[in-house]
Structure 1
Amino acid sequence: MAEPRPMDPAGSAPWPKAWAVGAIVLSVLAAVPWMAVMPLMDADEPRFAECSRQMLVTGDWVYPQFNGRPRHAKPPLFNWLQVGSYAIFGVNEFAARLPSLLATIGTGLVLFPLARRFCGEQTAWLAVAVWLALPQTHGWGRAAVTDPLLTLLSAGALAAAFRGLEAERGGAAWYAVSGACLGLAALTKGPVGIVVPAGAYLLYVVLSGSWRRGLGRAGPYSALALALLVAAPWFAAQIAHYGREYVDTFFGSDNLQRYTVGRPVGLALGILWPIPVVLLVAFPVSLLLPRLLRDAWRERGAARGGDASARWRLFLAAWVVAILALFAPSATQLSQYLMALYPPLALLIADLLVRESEGPTPADRSRWIAGAALAAGLGLGAAFFGAAVLAARFVSQAGLDNLPLIQAVAVALGGAFIASAALFAHGWRRAAGSRLVGCVLGATLLAAIAMGQVAVPVIAFSRDQGLKELALVARDRIAPGAPIIAYGLQTSTVVFYAQRNVVEAGSRTAEETLQLAIRQPGAWVIAPRRRAGELEALGLRETAQARQYVLLERPRRGAPAAATEATSPRSPASPPPGSQTGSGAR
């Protein structure tokens, strides 16, 4: 096997490094301020944060709990890292998100030596810059969820496996590193932590014809054995403690069922759903993906012949394609599922940019790529402008407030994507050398900052800040042990900020929710303002409000007789039917 030769010789001009370092510093600095002030978003961020807080409070790190019930949905590695962060910085949003930011930076540290080994230092710096500059990284890279950590461990596993496969000597050590990463990935998100990297590795072996090197040695099998050795003890402890309940919940409903019968999110595109996702969250460099995959496919003959550069590109392409192929059929369609494909995409883009900047003149580059970028940018811009016009129709249903601000952000996003496309197209068709790299990085950062540092915080404050504020009020004013009832909203945010168990009313009517409050002494109810009138008409009294949410007390004496039918009382530790908390929660 030929030794890899860096594509940029020592002593070459340092321009890519200057652009890259600037993009890296800007991306990291832009992410940090929002970590401490932005409320935890959606259901997942506060759910992970609260599960970790329970570990810290109870000292039980083995059997995760949420809202008074076992949480079987995810393994504990990410929670363990959050507990460590809490121990240093306290229980707050910054500490909850810090492990994800460090994992995102860690992914860049995995990419750097890999790219430097096979492409040279300029490409290595640029790969890290592209990874950190992507819109998806600005959006998900600091989120208090498992995906950034899973991405780091998947990248580590595949990078080490490739080094092991290509090594003439010392391959066993690389496979050991790969196996350890696979085991930790399984402790982060379950079987997907092993299946996805293994699928990418196998696809590369097939495409490159590396049957003997890839499967004829002990390395891959020792890696798999080590992965099982790392992950199996914790899973065995769960099965021993919970029995069939854990097997059915985690392996059944939270893995197999999500893949086969989950509910799609967004447009009903079937197996094509990754296309608009990748286009949007990696814009505008996502327009280069077809070119990158085409080049890798055309070079597969050279890869089979031992060309190190061709093998490198084919490996990265197999990494991307395997993730797309494995998740495209998934019935549950969430953008973060694809996060692990962006590290190899960043490596491919960096490799291409360095070659293009040192190779043909701008006039020789494809007009189709520039044209596609402009068309996509105009299309996305028009979509966001349309969303601004139609925002009044969906803002309330989406749990958002401050319609003018939401409309302004939609307009800003539309303008940012159009400007990003124009800058990218200009650089691709007219810029050479450092100007090409600067245009592409600048265009990517423009879209990323608009999405991750403007739109995401605005959505978080518009949707979740009021719920956070009322949960803090409830924590301070409601008697210890008294329950909180969540009516018409998800409970995770309330559970974390109120630091107590919450009963979710689920599909109960206003009358049934009233009876639930009557049957539980001292209970208060949190509800969206648009639905609070249903409860106030039955005698509940508003005692506090924050943005689009209200906090209501149980009725005074003489409450309407319409709500006299008894419903069985339920403790806060036992949410009513229809609740999304507990063992089935993500």
Structure 2
Amino acid sequence: MKPPVSLNRAHPLWLGNARRELLWSGLFALFVLGIGIGLRDPWPSDEPRFALVAHWMVEHGQWLFPHRGHELYPDKPPVFMWLQALAYFLTRSWRIAFLLPSLLSAMGALALVYDLARRLWNHRSGLLAALTLLVTIHFTYQMRNAQIDPLLLGWMTLANYGLLRHLLLGPAWRWFWIGCFFAGVGVVTKGVGVLALLMLVPFAFARRRGWRHVARFDGSAGRWALGALAFLLPVLGWVVPMVLTAHADGDPQHAEYVKNILFGQTVHRYAAPPGHIHSIGFFLGIIAADWLPLSLLLPWAIPPWWRRLKRRDARFLLPLGWIVLILVFFSLSPGKRDVYILPALPIAALAMAPMLPALLRRPGVCRALFALTAGLAGALALAGALALIRHPSWSVKIEHSLDPQIWWLFLAMGAGGLLIAALTRVRHAPLGWAAFAALLWSVYGLWGYPLLNADRSALGVMEKARAIAGPDATIGLVAWKEQNLLMAQGPVTEFGFLKPWPQQFSDAVAWLKADPAHRWLFSLDAAMGDCVQKAKATYVGHANRREWWMFRADAVVNGCTPGGAGNNDDSSED
């Protein structure tokens, strides 16, 4: 294969200079993905949990065994929380630090898609592939959140980049080893990172059948074996110290943590998931709806893909075959979430790259993109206008948990989108969608984040709780969620997270009565039952679809234990 055209000689897309295009595209990506960072706190369900674990790491130095409060947190490996803690050391701001790993992962994935598509085809294809990925709803939405899956996408995209540099553009053994290494990092981040190595399956098929564009290697079993070693290096780098420490300290909680994190959160969760049960075709709906507008291009992309596969072009077989294997793997598990197939999205954009310059000029594609922009903008504008003028029942119900100003935000997004659609029209519909995406995420980040933060982050109720208790009293948390402990102001204590609520309540009441003059309890209303006289308690507020109360010892009904066995198991998260 011919080497890729350098940027100095690349045919530009619209600015007349490929380097300037790359610079402005990078700035546009940073704007879309980063605007609003620093204007909100972690939002449920996952963000407060990981931020709380990272916060505990920084404060207590517990790096190998993550903690959620005083309890161990055995559900996920600690890599994502390590990076959040590192980001805090660099920025000294949790509002920035908790989102920084996702932002860097997103920018890295875009750069990798661009560079690989440029090497496989050309600059124009690479740039359009990266921009298509950027403005795909599922990518932008997820990469603006502080969850593990955006980071996993970054590691798996890097792993696939290294593998494809070797398998299609090689031999490039160093890139192969790098790809295997980051597949291992993906495992330490979230067990399914090993799926990046499934790229070797379509490669083996293509090589056996003599497909075009497959790299030719000298037979060297040792070099391939080094790939296995590179994969195991980060895995063992985490597992060995953890196991040795658990064995050396003899702590049964550490032993249980090791057992759960290595087996319960991998094989058992795949075979017998605790929730998110869906049909085998669940991910087809996710691709159709969440992958807009990329999924709109599929009817026009599938025929060219088929023609290239018939011509035995491995540059399409490897990425498309890998996507199919990912879909099959996750579809066979009863438990399914939209984020499970998120790492396939960059590879889908890569496989579409060489068709994009022609596809985005087709009248049918432009009409579809125009309809998407105008339709979504019109729906937002209509919803905002109806809620503000007529106050239908659905809007009143939503306003119970959200600030009514949300409808002005909807109206602004919709009106702006309709104006963009009118200016760009069908002819420039791809540009119109990109502009609308920038408008959506900038309004959401600059206006929506501050507007929704007090309710969604529990910041408001925890500030009010401190105002009720005063600056010196200690607040005990009962039936708390991670955002409550994370956003707590001043001295607080807690009585376990996964412990059943009646036991938490009993322990909390005993603690409260030991020093009633200087202690308060903060509790979820459902956990109090009839054991608290609400006439003597103080209503704190509504947050995260829950009602919160505070009370002192005189409000507790003596000898009463709340009924039920509620707890904070993750399956009940928002």
Question: Could you tell me the TM-score, scaled by structure 2's length?
Answer: 0.78
2:4 paired with 1:39: no
Q: 1:269 to 1:147 in 2, by over 3 A?
A: closer
The Cα shift of 1:177 comes to 0.9
Shift of 1:421: 8.9
Secondary structure, counterpart of 1:78 in structure 2? helix
Q: Does 1:249 align with 2:260?
A: yes
Q: Residue in 2 aligned with 1:193? A: 193
C-alpha spacing 1:412/1:256, structure 2 compared with 1 (3 Å): farther
Superposition deviation, residue 354 in structure 1: 1.8
Structure 1: how far apart are the matches of 2:14 and 2:295?
A: 23
Rounded Cα–Cα distance in structure 1 between residues aligned with 2:421 and 2:534: 54
Aligned pair partner of 2:485 in 492, 495, 502: 495
Distance 2:288 2:421 in 1: 12
Q: What is the one-letter code of the residue matched to 2:334?
A: A
DSSP-derived class of the 1:35 partner: coil
Q: Deviations over 1:473-500 (max 9, x none)?
A: 6997364xx562234xx51112222285
Among 92, 95, 110, the residue aligned to 1:93 = 95
Counterpart position of 1:572: none
- Structure scoring higher RCO (CA < 8 A, sep ≥ 6) equals 1
Query: Match for residue 250 of structure 2?
Result: none
1:542 corresponds, among 526, 538, 541, to 538
Report the Cα distance in structure 1 between the residues aligned to 2:381 and 2:202, rounded to whole angstroms.
38
Counterpart in 1 of 2:309?
Answer: 300
Identical-pair percentage? 20
Task: Specify the code of the residue in structure 2 equivalent to 1:206.
Answer: F
CA distance in 2, matches of 1:384, 1:271: 35
Residues 100, 507 of structure 1: alpha-carbon distance in 2 compared, 3 angstrom cutoff: same
Equivalent residue for 2:553? 555
Counterpart residue number, 2:456: 463
CA distance 1:23–1:381, shift in 2 (3 Å): farther
SS at match of 1:484: strand
Is residue 134–residue 445 contact of structure 1 (8 Å, CA) maintained in 2? Answer: no
1:323–1:466 distance in 2 versus 1, CA, 3 Å:
farther
User: 1:578 maps to what in 2?
Assistant: 567
Q: 1: distance between equivalents of 2:126 and 2:259?
A: 44
1:412, CA displacement in angstroms? 6.6
Alpha-carbon distance change, 454 to 516 in structure 1, aligned in 2, over 3 angstroms: same
8 Å contact kept, 2:505–2:528: no
Secondary structure, counterpart of 1:203 in structure 2: helix
Residue correspondence of structure 1 range 116-515 to structure 2 within 5 A: 116-169=118-171, 171-189=172-190, 191-194=191-194, 196-206=195-205, 209=208, 218=221, 219-240=223-244, 241=246, 245-262=256-273, 264-265=275-276, 270-302=279-311, 304=312, 310-356=313-359, 362=362, 365-366=363-364, 370=367, 374=371, 378=375, 391=394, 395=398, 400-402=401-403, 404-406=404-406, 427=426, 431=427, 435=428, 437-442=430-435, 444-445=437-438, 460-464=453-457, 465-467=459-461, 469-470=463-464, 477=471, 479=473, 482=474, 484-487=476-479, 491-498=481-488, 501-503=493-495, 515=506
Q: How far does residue 316 in structure 1 lie from its aligned partner after superposition?
A: 2.9
By how many angstroms is 1:129 displaced?
Answer: 2.7
Q: Distance in 2 between matches of 1:337 and 1:325?
A: 12
> How many Å separate the matches in 2 of 1:108 and 1:157?
14
Partner Cα separation in structure 2 for residue 414 and residue 527 of structure 1 = 40
Contact residue 320 and residue 345 of structure 1 kept, 8 A? yes
Hey, what does 1:565 align to over in structure 2?
560
**Which is worse superposed, 209-218 or 317-326?**
209-218
1:344 is displaced (CA, Å) by 1.8
C-alpha offsets along residues 420-467 of structure 1, whole Å, 9 cap, x if unaligned?
A: 99999x54xxx3xxx465245335545655777766775554422434
Unaligned runs of 5+ in 1: 305-309, 569-575
Query: 1:282 offset after TM fit, Å?
Result: 3.1
Deviations 1:108-164 (A, max 9, x none): 222232122112223333333333333334322232222222111111111111111
Paired residue secondary structure (1:300) = helix
Q: Match for residue 249 of structure 2? A: none
Corresponding residue for residue 520 of structure 1 = 511
Partner deviation per Cα, 1:251-273 (whole Å, 9 max, x = no partner):
443223333333554xx751222
CA shift digits 1:27-74 (9 cap, x unpaired): 423443522121211132122112122222222322222211222222
Contact 2:369 / 2:429 at 8 angstroms: preserved in 1?
Answer: no
Report if the CA contact (8 A) 1:8-1:119 is conserved: no
The Cα of 1:516 is off from its aligned counterpart by 4.5
What one-letter code is carried by the residue in structure 2 that aligns with 1:172? W
Equivalent of 2:111, from 93, 105, 109?
A: 109
In the aligned structure 2, how far is the partner of 1:157 from the partner of 1:172?
A: 13
Could you tell me how far 1:230 is from its partner in structure 2?
Answer: 1.9
Question: Could you say what secondary structure the match of 2:342 adopts?
Answer: helix
State the TM-score, normalizing by the size of structure 1: 0.76
Deviation by residue 1:261-320 (Cα, 9 ceiling, x = unmatched): 33554xx75122223333443322221135434432331232x3xxxxx43233332343
